[in-house]
C-alpha cells in the first residue's frame, strides 16, 4: 500500500499543489493517466467547494488530502474542520433545460459521483471526512 498526505490552506491557489501531488503519485505508482485526470477533476471540485463555502472569509484553516493506493484503487480522503456539510444528501441537480432555466449549484458533486466508483462521507471529531475511490489496472503490465 502506498500513500501520501498533504496539508493545504483554504485558499484556491493551493489546489494546484494537490493536482501536482496526484500527478506525481499516480505516475510513481503506474496509475493510468485517465484515472489521474478523473481524480484531479474530482478533487478540484471538492476542494473548490470546501474553500468557497466551509469557512468564513478571513479564517485560515488547513485541509488534509491523503492519497492511497490499495487493492487496485486510487483513494483520496479529504478532511476539513469547516461547517458540517454532507454533499451526498444534496438534491440532484436539474440537468434538463437551458443553463438560464437551471438553479445554480449541485453539479459539482454530480460530476464527482459520475467520475468516481465510490463516494462516502462521515462527520467525525468535528471534521467533514470525504472519501472518493477510483479502481484501475496498473500501467506496469
Contact 56, 95 (CB under 8 A): no
Domain span holding position 112: 2-135
Question: What is the value of pTM for the model shown?
Answer: 0.89
User: Does some domain include residue 81?
Assistant: yes
57-86: b (≥16 Cβ within 10 Å) or e: eeeebebebebbbeeeebbbbbbbbbeebe
pLDDT of 114:
94
User: Does some domain include residue 141?
Assistant: no
Q: What pLDDT tens digit does each residue of the chain (141 aa) get?
A: 899 999 999 999 999 999 999 999 999 999 999 999 999 999 999 999 999 999 987 889 999 999 999 999 999 999 999 999 999 987 776 666 665 655 555 678 989 999 999 999 999 999 999 999 999 998 776
Contact 90, 104 (CB under 8 A): no
Contact 84, 128 (CB under 8 A): yes
User: Cα–Cα distance between 127 and 141 in angstroms, integer?
Assistant: 39
pLDDT of 26:
97
How far, in Å, are 13, 101, 126 from residue 119 at the CA level? 25, 28, 19
Q: How many domains does the chain have?
A: 1
What CATH number is given to the structural domain containing 42? 3.30.565.10
User: Does some domain include residue 59?
Assistant: yes
Beta bridge partners of 70: 73
- Lateral strand order in the sheet of 2-9: 2-9, 62-70, 73-80, 127-135, 118-124
User: Does some domain include residue 140?
Assistant: no
Amino acid at each position: 500500500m502506498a500513500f501520501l498526505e498533504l496539508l493545504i490552506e483554504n485558499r484556491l491557489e493551493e489546489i494546484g499543489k494537490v493536482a501536482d501531488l496526484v500527478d506525481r503519485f499516480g505516475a510513481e505508482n503506474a496509475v493510468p493517466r485517465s484515472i489521474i485526470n478523473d481524480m484531479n477533476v474530482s478533487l478540484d471540485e471538492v476542494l473548490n467547494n470546501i474553500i468557497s463555502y466551509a469557512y468564513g472569509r478571513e479564517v485560515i484553516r488547513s485541509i488534509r488530502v491523503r492519497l492511497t493506493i490499495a487493492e487496485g484503487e486510487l483513494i483520496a480522503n479529504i478532511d476539513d474542520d469547516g461547517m458540517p456539510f454532507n454533499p451526498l444528501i444534496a438534491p440532484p441537480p436539474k440537468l434538463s433545460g437551458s443553463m438560464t432555466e437551471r438553479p445554480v449549484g449541485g453539479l459539482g458533486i454530480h460530476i464527482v459521483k459520475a467520475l468516481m466508483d465510490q463516494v462516502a462521507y462521515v462527520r467525525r471529531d468535528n471534521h467533514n471526512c470525504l472519501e472518493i475511490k477510483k479502481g484501475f489496472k496498473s500501467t506496469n503490465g
